[in-house]
Amino acid sequence: MSTYIHFTEAQKDQARQTDIADLLHRHGEKLKRSGSEYEWRDGSQKVTIRGNLWFHQYERVGGDAIDFVRRYYNKSYPEAMEYLLGGSSMGVLTVSPPVVRESKPFELPPRNDNMRRVYGYLLNKRGIDRKVLNAFISARLIYESADYHNAVFLGKNPDGVPVHAHKRGTGSESTFKGNADSSDPRFSFHWIGRSERVYLFEAPIDMLSFISLHKDGWRNHSYAAACGVSDHVLWQMLERNPNIRTVYLCHDNDETGQLTVKRISEKLFTKGIKTEVLVPSHKDWNEELLYLNAESEVEKPCQELVL
């Protein structure tokens, strides 16, 4: 039976405010300085660290120092507290290096024999245009998983082989989203057109929402959803499509999204690539679509009742 340990609010705050970069440096971990932040590697994935806060750029999760120790040092909450407080309540704990998880092989979620849940979710709850959705389904880039009935957004390499899968829950109360293990971020969910434009988004649903709002000639352009805030898929698409001249950054209208825009646009500027920034009026492009869809429903003229 585990022993209950009471921690005061002052102790919780002290542990929470631990400088993560300093903690890692003291244990011989390698970090890369990037402006006011540090970059640390969780296997092959990048974790951004700023003071007592961290953010996993690919999985889009983060937290404070307590959360960091729990996740990467494989400790329970009381153990993480004791670790960060120097063992002041139970004696000093043995210092262990962060646990780097072994990569699992990439595996697609099993395919369901129908798409009813995905159609219902994307059409009715997310407001995606039916013709746009059908185009991606016909290209075998979206399907419904058999296990949890998630919407699965596929990314394929130049040989047409799926190497990335982003999963989104379709339940009425579900907030689940995540990438399949060992997905290749260079080939996340995307569409390749023939024009000189590429549009970059954070999430597949935002990408589909934007296309639903701008349907005229949409197939001619290229689009990519990073399934996070990385830029791997963008550079891969620029390399494969030398005809692209303008990059449209279409990230969320929040602090994380706009900091990402700043970071990517600076890289593009140094390479002489024209960049345009498109910001939704609402939090993201799906909220924009749902709002405008609702507005259009309100503005529809009432039909006269014929007796």
Q: Which residues contact 300 (CB under 8 A, 6 or more apart)?
A: none
- What is the rounded average pLDDT of the residues 176-188? 90
- What is the rounded average pLDDT of the residues 60-88? 82
- What is the rounded average pLDDT of the residues 52-63? 82
- Give 216-248 pLDDT, tens digit per residue: 999 999 999 999 888 999 999 999 999 999 999
Q: Which residues contact 231 (CB under 8 A, 6 or more apart)?
A: 200, 263, 264, 267
- What is the rounded average pLDDT of the residues 89-107? 57
Of the candidate ranges 28-42, 83-97, 104-118, 219-233, the one whose mean pLDDT is the lowest: 83-97
CATH of 9-84, one of 3.40.50.300, 3.90.580.10, 3.30.70.20, 2.60.40.60: 3.90.580.10
- What is the rounded average pLDDT of the residues 286-304? 80
Q: Where are the domains of the chain?
A: 9-84, 116-298
Q: Which residues contact 11 (CB under 8 A, 6 or more apart)?
A: 81, 85
Instruction: Give φ, ψ of 128 to 5 degrees.
Output: -65, 140
Position 91 pLDDT exceeds 50: no
Q: What is the pLDDT of residue 63?
A: 85
Contact 226, 183 (CB under 8 A): no
Q: Which residues contact 222 (CB under 8 A, 6 or more apart)?
A: 190, 191, 192, 193, 195, 197, 198, 199, 237, 241, 244
Instruction: Give φ, ψ of 98 to 5 degrees.
Output: -55, 145
Contact 39, 46 (CB under 8 A): yes
Position 103 pLDDT exceeds 80: no
DSSP state of 99: -
- What is the rounded average pLDDT of the residues 276-284? 97
- What is the rounded average pLDDT of the residues 76-86? 85
Radius of gyration of the chain (CA): 23
> Does 9-84 match 116-298 in CATH topology?
no
Q: What is the pLDDT of residue 292?
A: 95
Confidence of residue 82 (pLDDT cuts 50, 70, 90): confident
Length of the chain: 307
To 10 degrees, what angle do helices 77-84 and 65-72 make? 120
- What is the rounded average pLDDT of the residues 284-294? 96
Whose tokens are 């990438």? That residue is 179
The DSSP result for 242-255, as a single string, is: TT--EEEE---SSH
Most trustworthy range by pLDDT among 70-74, 77-81, 90-94, 161-165: 161-165
pLDDT over 90 for what percent of the chain?
A: 54
**Position 297: which residue type?**
E
Confidence of residue 92 (pLDDT cuts 50, 70, 90): very low
Position 275 pLDDT exceeds 50: yes
What is the spatial distance between Cα 125 and Cα 140, in angstroms, rounded to a whole number? Answer: 22
CATH class of the domain at 116-298? alpha beta
- What is the rounded average pLDDT of the residues 284-288? 97
Tell me the pLDDT of the chain averaged across its residues. Answer: 87
What is the spatial distance between Cα 73 and Cα 86, in angstroms, rounded to a whole number? Answer: 15
Of the candidate ranges 40-49, 85-94, 255-264, the one whose mean pLDDT is the lowest: 85-94
Q: What is the pLDDT of residue 96?
A: 52
| Both structure tokens of 279 | 């910001």
Residue that wins the pLDDT comparison between 24 and 151: 151
Contact 146, 110 (CB under 8 A): yes
Instruction: Give φ, ψ of 91 to 5 degrees.
Output: 90, 155
- What is the rounded average pLDDT of the residues 63-85? 86
Most trustworthy range by pLDDT among 28-32, 172-176, 284-288: 284-288
As to burial, measured by CB atoms within 10 angstroms (0-12 exposed, 13-18 middle, 19+ buried), residue 297 is exposed
Position 187 pLDDT exceeds 90: yes
Provide the β-strand partners of residue 169.
none
